[in-house]
Amino acid sequence: MNTLRSRTQKGMVRWPWIALLILGTVAVPRGSARGQSVAGRGVAARLNTPATGIQLFARAVLPAGGGMVQAELDTAGAANMLGAAGLTSIVTGQVDQALVSVTATAEAADVDILDGLITAKSVLALATSYANGTSAWSEADGSTLLSLVIAGIAYPDGAPAPNTRVELPGVGYAVLNEQIARGDGLQSAGLTVNMIHVYLLDPVSGAAAGEIVVGAATSTATL
């Protein structure tokens, strides 16, 4: 159930600089000029399997005119698949004649995927896109994994190299800090960041059998 609550929940790593970033990007929507648009989405966790169907936890979608939207859940999960706490997504965007910008964040704490096969103290995805009429660009600066452990192997805190693949024998594979870019780099730019993306494969046929994502942020700016 969605709640509005303090960001100081026990067990949740605080990211004070995010508030400063958001305050710096939020503006009262002025209405889109021709060719100007913003789009953004944050999903703290996503499940898509035959057993669970499609489930989205703490999903926030930016309105077409920009502004700010936020979604929160105290806890979320599905038996044997996913457990997490302090799920939060925040998306902000502004449309201006000189600059269009969008920032999307999605985070979760105390993450447990596939009965402990993958655990993390905190997961934060951050995607930002800008366009100023002559160039457009995106970045994932600030995306972070803390206390990540996969199949008993601990990973350094921070952001792994983009699109780091980790094999999960008998299960499938995971992609850490998955980054999918879009746009022409001139008038439009977009970026999707999935901090932990587990691709489930059928152990016999090898066919796709679902996915688990924790920390998914998408931003798109066009001017």
pLDDT tens, position by position, 96-142: 888 999 999 999 999 999 999 999 999 999 999 999 989 999 999 99
**pLDDT given for residue 154 in this prediction:** 98
DSSP conformation letters of 64-96: TT-EEEEEEEEEEEETTTEEEEEEEEEEEEEE-
**pLDDT given for residue 97 in this prediction:** 80
**pLDDT given for residue 28 in this prediction:** 37
The pLDDT of residue 34 is above 80:
no
- Is residue 196 in some structural domain? yes
**pLDDT given for residue 24 in this prediction:** 46
- Is residue 56 in some structural domain? yes
Confidence of residue 33 (pLDDT cuts 50, 70, 90): very low
**pLDDT given for residue 65 in this prediction:** 83
Write phi, then psi, for 55 (nearest 5 degrees). -130, 130
Rounded mean pLDDT, 67-79: 96
pLDDT digits (tens, 9 = 90+) for 139-188: 999 999 999 999 999 999 999 999 999 999 999 999 999 999 999 999 99
The structure tokens listed for 176 are 């850490």
- Is residue 75 in some structural domain? yes
CA distance 64 to 114: 36
- Is residue 60 in some structural domain? yes
Between 10 and 143, residue with greater pLDDT: 143
- Is residue 6 in some structural domain? no
Using CA atoms, how far residue 51 sits from 48, 205, 209, in Å, is: 8, 18, 10
Neighbouring residues of 86: CB distance < 8 A, sequence distance ≥ 6? 9, 11, 12, 74, 107, 108, 109, 110
The structure tokens listed for 193 are 């960041």
| Global confidence as pTM | 0.85
Range of the domain at 77: 16-23+36-222
- Is residue 5 in some structural domain? no
pLDDT digits (tens, 9 = 90+) for 75-95: 998 999 999 999 999 999 999
CA distance 12 to 174: 23
Count of domains in the chain?
1
Confidence of residue 10 (pLDDT cuts 50, 70, 90): very low
10 Å Cβ neighbour count for 16?
A: 7
CA distance 202 to 171: 7
- Is residue 43 in some structural domain? yes
The residues that bridge with 107 in the sheet, in sequence order, are 88, 124
* CB 89 within 8 Å of CB 71: yes
Rounded mean pLDDT, 53-64: 96
DSSP state at residue 147: S
Neighbouring residues of 208: CB distance < 8 A, sequence distance ≥ 6? 199, 200, 201, 202
